[in-house]
């Protein structure tokens, strides 16, 4: 079974739960992340409801391709696991590329399939909707485009647990920039650490 994340129309910029775009819901005292390479503020991509918390992803888009935003450890992206106190809408910095062009609500669709691509094709056939309206999936194994790059936790050194695989989006004009690939989010629940990378 693969749980697909599907496009469910426009959402408010500060909507709770799982969505792409908008502004992140964060705990008090949160500081907007900046790229370790260009020092510019990162773009907020998505938040995923963990059931009592949020997994949130940011990536540098100030000069696409110049910072190592695809790498889990180079500092060109950041992922966070926020607890139940993540209820404050963050204020984006006034400079840099910090927001996506669209805020998308997400619906979840369990599909009985052996993998993400198969599930996407099956969902598209059953619903008559374009496959591009699948925004990603949660809860099952990552479907790598290249080699398995599951990151290790910086705290305990163990392989992290898969959380979410993100597609670029339903509209190429407002899509996330993964070079026509996928983004992958991971967490270490005992340590509270998170990581993100993308492949194309």
How do the domains of the chain map onto residue ranges? Answer: 2-199
**pLDDT digits over 81-110, tens only?**
999 999 999 999 999 999 999 999 999 999
pLDDT at 73: 95
Q: State phi, psi for 102 to the nearest 5 degrees.
A: -150, 145
Task: Give the closest residue to 46 by CA, choosing from 136, 132, 123.
Answer: 136
Structure confidence by residue, pLDDT tens digits, 1-30: 999 999 999 999 999 999 999 999 999 999
pTM confidence score: 0.96
Tally DSSP H helices, then E strands, for the chain: 1, 12
For the chain, give the number of residues: 200
Query: Are 185 and 164 a contacting pair, CB within 8 Å?
Result: yes
What is the C-alpha to C-alpha distance for residues 62 and 142, in angstroms, rounded to an integer? 27
CA–CA separation, 8 and 158 (whole Å): 35
- What is the separation of C-alpha 186 from the centre of its chain, rounded to a whole number of angstroms? 10
Residue 65 pLDDT exceeds 90? no
What is the chain's alpha carbon radius of gyration, rounded to the nearest angstrom?
A: 16
> What is the CA angle 171-42-15, rounded to 5?
60
């Amino acid at each position: 079974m693969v749980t697909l994340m599907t496009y469910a129309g426009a959402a408010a910029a500060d909507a709770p739960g799982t969505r792409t775009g908008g502004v992140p819901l964060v705990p008090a005292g949160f500081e907007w992340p900046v790229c370790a390479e260009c020092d510019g503020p990162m773009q907020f991509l998505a938040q995923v409801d963990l059931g009592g918390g949020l997994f949130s992803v940011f990536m540098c888009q100030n000069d696409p391709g110049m910072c190592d935003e695809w790498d889990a450890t180079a500092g060109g992206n950041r992922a966070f696991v926020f607890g139940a106190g993540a209820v404050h809408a963050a204020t984006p910095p006034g400079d840099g590329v910090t927001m996506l062009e669209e805020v998308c609500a997400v619906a979840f669709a369990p599909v009985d399939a052996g993998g993400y691509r198969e599930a996407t094709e099956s969902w598209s056939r059953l619903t008559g909707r374009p496959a591009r309206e699948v925004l990603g999936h949660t809860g099952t194994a990552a479907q790598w485009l290249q080699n398995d790059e599951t990151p290790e936790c910086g705290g305990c050194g163990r392989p992290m647990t898969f959380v979410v695989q993100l597609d670029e989006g339903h509209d190429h004009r407002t899509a996330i920039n993964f070079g026509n690939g996928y983004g992958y989010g991971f967490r270490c629940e005992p340590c509270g650490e998170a990581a993100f990378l993308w492949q194309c």
